[in-house]
Amino acid sequence: MTTSISAKHNLAAVAEHAFERHGDYESLLFEGRWHRSGELFERAQRLGTGLRELGIAPGERVVVTMANCPEVGIAYNALWRAGAVVTPASFLLSTHELRHIVSDAEASAVITTPEFADTVREATAGLKSVRHLISSGGVDGMMPLASLEESDPGPIMGRSDDELAALLYTGGTTGRAKGVMLSHANLDFTGAAAQSSAHVPGINRGLATLPLSHAYGLLVTIAGMHSPERGLAVLLRWFDPTAFLELIAEHRVQLTAVVPSMLQILLSQPLEDYDLSSLRYVTSGGAPLAPALAEEFMRRVPSVSIRQGYGLTETAALISSNPVGREKPGSVGAPVPGTELRIIGDEDRSLPAGEVGEIVVRSPGVMCGYWHSPQTTREALSDGWLRTGDLGYVDHDGYLFIVDRKKDLIIRGGFNVYPRDVEDALAEHPHIETAGVVGRPDEVHGEEVVAFVSLRPGSEVRAEELVEWGRQRIGGYKYPREIQIIDAVPLTNVGKVDRKALRRLLVEVHRP
């Protein structure tokens, strides 16, 4: 063993212990090629040394912007071995958005792939902190990742449990992306908790399609380090519904993790044409899951049980989860062990079961704070309690139900309208594929409910018909008086309805 530290939760050490526990075997399938765990681990060891020799110092931030591929996991592990702070960035970001992250993090290096090299060059031009641009393939002016893997394996650099392991940027509902500081202990806690709540003996063949640049994908990765048995992972570069279904059928995949928009897209596919009988568990997170959507998917794929969970980037992606065998439909589960949860109302008073209020949480997974934002940190954190900005309630069994984002609440004529309620109802219409709901100012009612919807392939329906359907189905004060049919409801990088984009679109629609 090459570890030179005693920190219990250091993620590089956790990964090393996992390799020593399970040994060398074919563990990862990517685009037709199996990768052995020993190969991946040695590459991370060598790259960790190469990064140190390059001058990457402990605590320095290194941006990793790649589509899913084996090199993402190798880079993360190598950076942790070097004592650096992993700073993931989606490859879908614009040049302006990527530049903000690199600049704000004061990153010393960026690791990418050839297809995103031009964006990275433009995003980093003139930034003094950036000393190195590294690519997994041959790109002029960028250092080849392979050359850094020529170094001899070395020890893990000493980093304590409470030092930063990752800096993840989240935009929330408003404002520029903020850096969420997550320590080794934060991420290891939620990874272990996720594995504990989800593990079923003999269920170990998974399909990974979530972006590894997002907190949810990172959580699934770290959870795998805690598996008590050898896991086999099939990795998709990005979500493709046909490839998703083909790989499940071909490799007898037993479990996968998704966001609700993926399930919605899958329901538009000929699911019955594929042998999906091996698929046992689908974990859904990242956004609220409409009950009708879950029921329809489980009806069409009868072998599947869908387990919802809940978390934020600020909680290292996990707060609650439905325990295997004790799932409650519509709920995001009970707080994972070690997590305290309260529902608060006016003047921060705790509310009883069944009453809707803001969700606040305290756990070892709660972030250290926002990068370079002490005031924003103070507003979000108090005595270890994090204000999530989400509205919800707990039932008498302690299971949590999410209602909506506090900032997305629409108040029409003095009545609260939760966009998610309207979206879930609209999703039950046979012609609607996706719905997104926002409020617009209204002189009479204060705010009016507006829905943007995209239709299922081949469907035709007029907006007026949908408004009437909503009036009959949803109820008096909260049905949308205005429905805009668009080609595709905008989603965030992780499949949530992008309400910021919808509000901008609403301005365009109503511009004189």
Residue-wise pLDDT tens digits, 7-16: 689 999 999 9
Q: State which H helix or E strand residue 437 sits in.
A: strand 432-442
Q: State which H helix or E strand residue 295 sits in.
A: helix 291-300
Which distant-in-sequence residues (6+ apart) come within 8 Å of 224 by Cβ? 18, 195, 206, 231, 233
- What is the C-alpha to C-alpha distance for residues 297 and 267, in angstroms, rounded to an integer? 7
Q: Considering only CA atoms, which of 279, 341, 280 is closest in space to residue 310?
A: 341
- What pLDDT, on the 0 to 100 scale, is given for residue 171? 64
- What pLDDT, on the 0 to 100 scale, is given for residue 189? 97
Other beta carbons less than 10 A from residue 475's beta carbon: 13
pTM over 0.75: yes
- What pLDDT, on the 0 to 100 scale, is given for residue 174? 39
Helix, strand or coil, per DSSP, at residue 104: helix
- What is the C-alpha to C-alpha distance for residues 451 and 358, in angstroms, rounded to an integer? 24
- What is the C-alpha to C-alpha distance for residues 442 and 445, in angstroms, rounded to an integer? 6
Fold (topology level) of 186-406: Rossmann fold (3.40.50)
Alpha-carbon dihedral sign for residues 181, 316, 319, 92: positive
- What pLDDT, on the 0 to 100 scale, is given for residue 509? 85
Q: State which H helix or E strand residue 100 sits in.
A: helix 95-105
Ordered by start, the domain boundaries in the chain are 11-159, 186-406, 409-509
Listing DSSP states for 12-61 in one string gives HHHHHHHHHHH-S-EEEEETTEEEEHHHHHHHHHHHHHHHHHHT--TT-E
- What pLDDT, on the 0 to 100 scale, is given for residue 318? 96
Averages of pLDDT over runs of 10 residues in the chain (512 residues) are 60 96 97 97 98 97 97 98 96 90 97 96 97 94 96 92 96 67 97 91 94 91 93 95 98 94 90 98 86 92 95 95 89 96 94 96 97 94 94 96 87 82 89 92 85 93 92 82 94 83 90 76
Residue 408, phi-psi category: left (phi > 0), alpha (psi -120 to 50), beta (remainder): alpha
- What pLDDT, on the 0 to 100 scale, is given for residue 15? 96
CB 194 within 8 A of CB 168: no
- What pLDDT, on the 0 to 100 scale, is given for residue 420? 87
CATH number of 409-509: 3.30.300.30
- What pLDDT, on the 0 to 100 scale, is given for residue 197? 87
- What is the C-alpha to C-alpha distance for residues 151 and 51, in angstroms, rounded to an integer? 9
- What pLDDT, on the 0 to 100 scale, is given for residue 50? 98
CATH number of 11-159: 3.40.50.980
C-alpha separations of 79 from 10, 68, 71, 73, 422 in Å: 12, 17, 12, 10, 44
- Tell me if 11-159 shares its fold with 186-406: yes
